[in-house]
Structure 1
Amino acid sequence: MADVTASMVKDLRDRTGAGMMDCKKALGETNGDMEAAVDWLRTKGLAAAAKKAGRTAAEGLVGVSVSGLSGAVVEVNSETDFVAKNETFQGFVRTVTELALAGAADVPALLATPYPGGLGSVQDQLTHNIATIGEHQSLRRVTSVSVGQGAVTSYVHNATVPGMGKIGVLVGLESSAGADVLEPLGKQLAMHIAAANPLALDADGLDPALVERERAIAREKAATSGKPADIIDKMIEGGVRKFAQENALLTQVFVIDGKSKVGDIVAAAAKAAGAPITVSSFVRIQLGEGIEREEKDFAAEVAAAAGI
Structure 2
Amino acid sequence: MDLNKLFEYSKKIWDDDSVATNVELFLLRKPKNDDVILFSMDINNELQKDLLKIFLDNFRRSEKRKYKQSNYDVVTSGKFDKEYYTTCAKDYNGVDKFIKLFDEEKLDNIKGLDETDFFAYAVKVLMDDEWFIFIAPFAKVSKISATKVIGNLKNEKLTKLENENTVGFSSSISMIIQKNQILMTNNLRHFEKCCGMHSEFKKRAESILGKIAEFDSIEDIEDLMKTIDSDSVIAKRLTKMDQHYDRVASFFENKNEVKKVLEDEAFKEKFKDVKYENGKIKFEKKNRHVFITLISDACYETLVGKTKGIDGGF
Q: Give TM-score, length-normalised by structure 2.
A: 0.26
User: Relative contact order, CA 8 A, sep 6+: which one is greater?
Assistant: 1
Q: Give TM-score, length-normalised by structure 1.
A: 0.26
Higher fraction of helix: 1
